[in-house]
Amino acid sequence: MAAICIRWILLQSALIWCSQAVFNRPNEIKLENNEYTDVLVAIHKDVPEDQRIVDRLKEIFTEASRDLYVATNNRAFLKEIKILIPNTWTKKPEYRPAGTKTFERANIRVDVPNPLYGDNPYVQQKGGCGEGGDYMHLTPQYVVDKPYGEMYWGPNGKTFVHEWGHLRWGLFDEYGFDGATGESYPHFYRASVGDVEPTRCSAKVAGNSQHMVTGESCQLIPATGVYESECRFYPDFRGNRATASYMFMHFLSQVTGFCHSDPEGDPLSYHNREAPNKQNVMCNGQSAWDVMNKHQDFANGANPPREIDSTKPNFVLLQESDFFRVVLVLDVSGSMVGGEISLLNQVATRFIRNTVPFGTSVGVVTFSSTASIRHPVVSINSEAIRNDLIAAVPTSAGGRTCIGCGLRKGIEALETAGPPQGAVILLITDGKDSSPYVSQVLPDLLTKEIIVNTIAISQNADDKLESLAEGTGGLSFFSGSGDSIALDNAFTATSEGKGVNLLSEQQTISGRQTYANHLYVDNSVGENTTFSFSWLDGSRPTVMMVTPLGLVITEGNPIYDIKSDTITIKIPATATPGKWAYNITNNDSGNQDITVIATSNPVNDNEPITVSAQVSSASLDYSSSRPTALKIFASVRRGYLPVIGAVVKVRIEKPHGEVEEVTLLDNGAGADLTKNDGIYSRYFLGFTADGRYGVSIRVDNSQGKAEYIVINRARSNGALPMDPGTGYVNDGNVQREPLKQFQRMTTGGVFEVRGVPSGGINTDMLPPSRVNDLKVVNVSYADATVTLSWTALGDDFDQGGPAHYVEIRYGRNFDQLADDFYGSASVNHSQVLQGSLTSPPEPGSVQTIVILVPDRGDNVTFVFAVSTCDEADNCGDPSNVVSANLEYIPEKSALPLAMIIISVFGVLFVLFAILGCIICYRRGYLQKWSGSDNPICKV
């Protein structure tokens, strides 16, 4: 019975209506015969109707297709673009049904600005080198106002190609930037052979360096050996001859391609591997074309150059349906007899009674050896209809399992109610398929564009469920028999519910005992707040709840509702923010399993704090000699703003019921790509057996340490410049706002593992992760020292305890160190003046080492790289390479008062001059049109 109750909470959680349960897998773009098809662009429902958006999107993508064809050396262009119109816009005859296309899965979104970036186009990337992004974000202002967009970011088509590099091929920027979340890459570096160089690709891009405010020559800083932080590189718009790169200054008229590493290729687009930009750091010095040639688009000679007559895309206009339709397709076969069918009945009843909003169309289908429509698809517009649907939920089971029968009957139920495109079948089963098989029904589902979400409620459930969901654009979930909390929110990607899951827990309470707990309702939610307490058997427990104002809610209170096996407390109006405590008393002499679920809606359309989750792969094969670890991601946000400093934990339910908990990190190390971007990540290695693994996420801020990054526009005085790559004004207006206590729960879905050796994965064969944030903190000519720092990593990738020791190698030539790390000189213990090579700190903390170098003086520059190793001498890949200059740089002397006065007037003059070209400045450099006849804008 305990196993049934545990599975019951998982099912009950799976049916909670809530937004953003998981990262939706992006719509799959196809590339065949040089033609990209099925590219999905979606306009958010809250964007006001404006036909110019659609017209301009067509213009932008037509221009982008031409530029993409040239940039890929005639190997790819945009052939088909699907534009998804929201259902809030006027219906037009040329709009086709959206089918399985949704805003959440769109490759390119047109939505309100992200406050961190304004109208700046960007791509959300959470994966590593060569891993495509989640989506490209464009704003209505950027799309509609062509002069504005091109003035700040360059030609629309070329800007799109730059962002496509992030989205499709997993490329990164090749310029230095200071990010709003704290991520930064230097604008200048000291070349191992030569002088201070701007961070650029290619190195042939011409220009000069000057102070971004005063316009004066840049000054060297003794502590770093490079220019001051206000120094920027300004391209020569008229004299530039470099043809790359799109990931550096795509707006330059001469730039037509990506950097490459072919010695026989165009020297004007040759990759600058020494520049300390994000592309080199994340991709270990690989050029853009190196990464692109490993992508499926071009690997092994795929899509070779082809001459075509036209690169103009075809456009297909789609529109979302006005209402949401779902059919519950429920397994009532013999394997569901007993406790299984009871819990299924309870979960479905609770879903229909408490969580389905009015206006939603719902139907019920059951299947065993055959299938039947227990209730047709009807719109819920009264409590009587809810009760009719609840009455149709099955209470008995028997027969074999025919999943295909259930799917076909689900299609029939949808078609009876109208066109089935875009509707959802929620399939719940614990058995194996029999004829007609899922594979026989799948073509019909695809033709009719029906989304199928699947919940496997045991390890025995058919192994085709996950591929069925993936193939139809749906989501897959798993409810096993272990002690896990949460496969909640199965309807997330396709529903329009606004509920946020605050808490889901299952507790076994001993006889005559009371269990006490609490949760926090934060001020981003509070409407329609509902607490439910459910049990499968035994006497009804007693629940007492205490509000933040000290009011007691218990049996007899008008909002204390008892129906069958569930106690529901619905808070009227807006729930008071703060701590809500509850006690549950077991009135029986034996143990009783109780499920507690709390949900709430946003207040007055405020942006609630939400969590979404994803795993890096739906299936893994661990039969190879060196398996790949799984990455788990959780995004915590308030709207588009990242929430940082929260405690994010993932619980993984394993095939035999064991549960492992891992804390996800947002520190920019290991599996985590970017520090403080609100996406928490971690590797998972604890595979113990073949089968399904269920993932649930809990976010907690009970200690009140979480913050969200905001833009205080009121503090901005309108005086640019802006830092590159970020779009925010660097004048102190980027702030971190503390958040009150809150908690959230969601699911990361399910993944399958095969080939796990007996006894599980031998983690001794796994090295620590690669260090990718090595930095030179300080250089001292007087002491002949260099101070390095990086984020310490775990013993196995980013897991386990501290690494065993650190290898630091150095030299005088970048290429030699980069190409032959272990053939380069090693830093020994006698050179370490501070820190330790053999006692790395705990993973996630900053490791700092001060190194005594053997030489100093003019033209003395050292390059460094590190690798961390475990006790079995498994060492991570060498880190990014950094350089440190050991020449004598005198400190700047203070100016006399008269000189200060003169300088102030000079600065004021320069500032007024800069205002003449400031609007063409973005991302730390002037834009294309600043090569006009305006003498102020010439550089």
860-916, pLDDT tens digit by residue?
999 999 999 999 999 999 999 999 999 999 987 544 444 444 444 444 444 444 444
pLDDT for 163 equals 97
Give me the mean pLDDT over the 411-425 stretch: 94
Q: Does residue 14 surpass a pLDDT of 60?
A: no
Task: Confirm if 424 and 326 have CB atoms less than 8 A apart.
Answer: yes
Higher-confidence position of 858 and 304:
304
The region, left, alpha or beta by phi > 0 then psi within -120 to 50, assigned to residue 21 is: alpha
Single-letter residue type at 103: F
pLDDT band at 361 (very low <50, low <70, confident <90, very high): very high
Q: Does residue 397 surpass a pLDDT of 80?
A: yes
Task: Confirm if 897 and 788 have CB atoms less than 8 A apart.
Answer: no
pLDDT for 475 equals 84
pLDDT for 912 equals 44
Query: Tokens representing 310?
Result: 């036209």
462 Cα distance to chain centroid: 29
pLDDT band at 153 (very low <50, low <70, confident <90, very high): very high
Give me the mean pLDDT over the 467-482 stretch: 81
Q: Does residue 920 surpass a pLDDT of 80?
A: no
pLDDT for 563 equals 86
Q: Does residue 283 surpass a pLDDT of 50?
A: yes
Q: Which three-class secondary structure state does DSSP give residue 372?
A: strand
- 163 catalytic per annotation: yes
For the entire predicted model, the pTM comes to 0.89
pLDDT for 23 equals 54
Concatenated DSSP letters for 377-429?
A: EEE--SHHHHHHHHHTS-----S---HHHHHHHHHHHHHHHS--TT-EEEEEE
Residue 916, φ and ψ in degrees, nearest 5? -70, -20
CA 135 – CA 932 distance, rounded (Å): 35
Order of strands, sheet of 659-664, starting from the edge strand that comes earlier in the sequence? 619-621, 743-754, 691-700, 647-653, 659-664
Map tokens 């903190």 to a residue: 777
pLDDT band at 764 (very low <50, low <70, confident <90, very high): confident
pLDDT digits (tens, 9 = 90+) for 658-673: 889 999 999 999 999 9
Q: Does residue 635 surpass a pLDDT of 60?
A: yes
pLDDT band at 24 (very low <50, low <70, confident <90, very high): low
Contacts 24+ apart (CB under 8 A), 623-630: 623/754, 623/755, 624/755, 626/765, 627/755, 627/761, 629/671, 629/683, 629/684, 629/685, 629/766, 629/797, 630/683, 630/684, 630/685, 630/751
Share of the chain above pLDDT 70, in %: 87
pLDDT band at 11 (very low <50, low <70, confident <90, very high): very low
pLDDT digits (tens, 9 = 90+) for 782-794: 999 999 999 999 8
The mean of the pLDDT values for the chain is 86
Q: How many CB atoms lie within 10 A of CB 850?
A: 18
DSSP 734: E
Task: Confirm if 87 and 682 have CB atoms less than 8 A apart.
Answer: no
Q: Does residue 294 surpass a pLDDT of 70?
A: yes
pLDDT band at 618 (very low <50, low <70, confident <90, very high): confident
Query: Who contacts 494 (Cβ-Cβ below 8 Å, separation ≥6)?
Result: 102, 324, 326, 422, 424, 451, 453, 474
Give me the mean pLDDT over the 753-775 stretch: 86
Give me the mean pLDDT over the 118-133 stretch: 94
Q: Which of 63, 104, 163, 174 is catalytic?
A: 163
Strands 80-85 and 122-124, by their bridges, are unpaired
Residue 528, φ and ψ in degrees, nearest 5? 50, 40
Higher-confidence position of 746 and 896:
746
Region of poorest pLDDT, from 12-26, 227-241, 412-426, 821-835: 12-26
Single-letter residue type at 786: V
151 Cα distance to chain centroid: 30
CA 203 – CA 552 distance, rounded (Å): 70
pLDDT digits (tens, 9 = 90+) for 379-390: 999 999 999 999
pLDDT digits (tens, 9 = 90+) for 57-103: 999 999 999 999 999 999 999 999 999 999 999 999 999 999 989 99
pLDDT digits (tens, 9 = 90+) for 487-497: 334 433 345 56
Task: Confirm if 245 and 257 have CB atoms less than 8 A apart.
Answer: yes
Find out whether the peptide bond into 420 is cis, omega within 30 degrees of 0.
no
